[in-house]
């Protein structure tokens, strides 16, 4: 099947009111950026990107911070080589390069209007386009709305839209605080949010998702696999390279506890709707109609193909979600 027709294969949802139609399974581009994920092979990453396009995936999430534009450039290359069309979201990093965002940080040190404009122009170059489909703040704190610089930043956002350089604005929220952007959503200035949402950390469903649904703001669900904890492939013996951030994320007792919980979860979810825990993890996110797309990170084409199969419209109902709510496990392993 030509790639141009492949998008017909996957179900789509609108990314917010009036937003582009995007495949329910999107592509998370952090790992392919070759930063913080240990050994990563560009050829394998390109195979994954091509496999994604062949499967009908047409939403790709990336960021300048993913290898100083490396992930952006690989995605641009895959689109150019195949001639495929897709919605690509990228992110402008905080100027102080601090994650998570600190409530007392000043906008001048995080997202000054000049820095945001520079970030937009740098991503335009990396992606080889005249207009960014979606530019997200790579971190956000609602406290920044009270910063004296906020009106000027809001003006810059409007100006970049008017100039056609940015079609839509979004924010990627702090890993451990899905509510750190609810006031930003209420400003009406952003079109979408990206939020950590998975079977372990279901907090986004409490307040953020209903608010976004009410306001017509698109939701991109990230880290559906808890960085691997919800794939069912980790064991107590799994070890990560020192340069892979997961050596810390799953360090000490964390790995054993994650594996034990994933084992219990597998028994609970594998059944007629999901063949594997990984499929269940993706279907969990897609069971919420506020979610437009879920973006697993995928450096292997085999992962891409099996993840794309999860978008089959057979998601969890209210009773099944109530069962899954028993597996909530909130913690912040990034710190
Ligand atoms: N602050 C932020 O804005 C922020 C933070 C985190 C993530 N994100 C975005 O969200 C995306 C997703 O999060 P993530 O990549 O951190 O984590 P994730 O999607 O929770 O997990 C990615 C891991 O799952 C593995 N995997 C994927 N499909 C699999 C399958 N079918 N079976 C077994 N393993 C599978 C991947 O392996 P391989 O890589 O080997 O294929 C990778 O190790 C990122 O890529 C990025 O776009 C944004």
Provide the 3-class DSSP secondary structure of residue 124.
Answer: helix
Report the nearest atom of ligand 1 relative to the CA of 63: 47
Respond yes or no on whether the N-terminal peptide bond of residue 77 is cis (omega within 30° of 0): no
Q: How far is the CA of 316 from the centre of ligand 1 (A)?
A: 22
Q: How far is the CA of 31 from the centre of ligand 1 (A)?
A: 7
**pLDDT per residue of the chain (335 residues) written in tens, 0 to 9:** 556 556 558 999 999 999 999 999 999 999 999 999 999 999 999 999 999 999 999 999 999 999 999 999 999 999 999 999 999 999 999 999 999 999 999 999 999 999 999 999 999 999 999 999 999 999 999 999 999 999 999 999 999 999 999 999 999 999 999 999 999 999 999 999 999 999 999 999 999 999 999 999 999 999 999 999 999 999 999 999 999 999 999 999 999 999 999 999 999 999 999 999 999 999 999 999 999 999 999 999 999 999 999 999 999 999 999 999 999 999 889 88
Report the nearest atom of ligand 1 relative to the CA of 225: 20
Residue whose CA lies nearest to ligand 1 atom number 45: 28
Q: How far is the CA of 119 from the centre of ligand 1 (A)?
A: 24
- The pLDDT assigned to 122 comes to 98
Global pTM value = 0.97
- The pLDDT assigned to 335 comes to 85
Find out whether 77 and 128 touch, Cβ atoms under 8 Å: no
Q: How far is the CA of 306 from the centre of ligand 1 (A)?
A: 14
Q: How far is the CA of 145 from the centre of ligand 1 (A)?
A: 30
- The pLDDT assigned to 2 comes to 59
Q: How far is the CA of 223 from the centre of ligand 1 (A)?
A: 6
Residue whose CA lies nearest to ligand 1 atom number 48: 222
CA distances from 19 to 168, 305, 307 (A): 8, 26, 24
The class that CATH gives domain 3-325 is alpha beta
No. of helices (H) and no. of strands (E), the chain: 13, 10
Report the nearest atom of ligand 1 relative to the CA of 307: 31
User: Domain boundaries in the chain?
Assistant: 3-325
Q: How far is the CA of 150 from the centre of ligand 1 (A)?
A: 32
Report the nearest atom of ligand 1 relative to the CA of 279: 31
- The pLDDT assigned to 7 comes to 55
Q: How far is the CA of 228 from the centre of ligand 1 (A)?
A: 7
Provide the 3-class DSSP secondary structure of residue 211.
Answer: helix
Look at the block and give the residue holding tokens 């069971």: 287
CA distances from 261 to 94, 110, 240, 266, 267 (A): 34, 37, 20, 9, 10
Beta strands in the chain (DSSP E): 12-14, 21-23, 27-28, 59-61, 87-92, 134-137, 169-172, 192-196, 218-222, 291-295
- The pLDDT assigned to 332 comes to 87
CA distances from 193 to 65, 109, 222, 275, 297 (A): 18, 22, 10, 30, 17
Report the nearest atom of ligand 1 relative to the CA of 226: 20
Report the nearest atom of ligand 1 relative to the CA of 233: 33
CA distances from 276 to 26, 99, 231, 246, 270 (A): 19, 32, 8, 22, 6
- The pLDDT assigned to 4 comes to 55
Provide the 3-class DSSP secondary structure of residue 60.
Answer: strand
Residue whose CA lies nearest to ligand 1 atom number 29: 303
- The pLDDT assigned to 226 comes to 98
Sign of CA dihedral 241, 245, 250, 252: positive
Report the nearest atom of ligand 1 relative to the CA of 194: 3
Look at the block and give the residue holding tokens 């899954």: 324
Q: How far is the CA of 129 from the centre of ligand 1 (A)?
A: 25
Q: What residues flank ligand 1, with Cβ below 6 Å? A: 28-31, 61, 138, 172, 194, 222-228, 231, 233, 278, 295-300, 303, 306-307
């Amino acid at each position: 099947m030509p790639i141009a027709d492949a998008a017909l294969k996957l179900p789509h949802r609108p990314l917010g009111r009036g937003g582009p139609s995007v495949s329910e399974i999107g592509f998370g581009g952090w790992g392919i950026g070759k930063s913080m994920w240990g050994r990563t092979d560009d050829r394998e990453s390109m195979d994954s990107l091509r496999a994604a396009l062949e499967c009908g995936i047409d939403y790709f999430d990336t960021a300048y911070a993913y290898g100083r534009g490396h992930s952006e450039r690989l995605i641009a290359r895959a689109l150019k080589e195949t001639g495929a069309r897709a919605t690509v979201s990228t992110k402008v990093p905080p100027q102080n390069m601090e994650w998570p965002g600190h409530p007392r940080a000043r906008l001048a040190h995080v997202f000054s209007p000049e820095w945001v404009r520079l970030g937009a122009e740098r991503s335009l170059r990396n992606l080889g386009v005249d207009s960014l489909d979606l530019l997200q703040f790579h971190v956000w704190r609602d406290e920044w709305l009270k910063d004296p610089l906020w009106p000027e930043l809001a003006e810059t956002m409007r100006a970049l839209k008017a100039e056609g350089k940015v079609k839509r604005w979004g924010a990627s929220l702090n890993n451990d605080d899905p509510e750190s952007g609810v006031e930003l959503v209420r400003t009406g200035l952003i079109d979408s949010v990206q939020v950590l949402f998975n079977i372990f950390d279901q907090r986004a469903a409490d307040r953020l998702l209903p608010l976004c649904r009410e306001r017509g703001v698109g939701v991109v669900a990230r880290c559906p696999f808890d960085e691997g904890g919800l794939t069912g492939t980790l064991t107590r013996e799994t070890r990560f390279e020192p340069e892979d951030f997961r050596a810390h994320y799953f360090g000490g007792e964390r790995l054993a506890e994650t594996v034990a919980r994933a084992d219990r979860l597998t028994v609970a979810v594998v059944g007629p709707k999901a063949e594997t825990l990984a499929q269940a993890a993706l279907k969990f996110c897609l069971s919420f109609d506020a979610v437009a797309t879920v973006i697993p990170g995928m450096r292997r084409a085999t992962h891409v193909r099996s993840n794309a199969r999860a978008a089959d419209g057979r998601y969890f109902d209210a009773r099944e979600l109530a069962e899954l709510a028993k597996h909530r496990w909130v913690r912040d392993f990034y710190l």
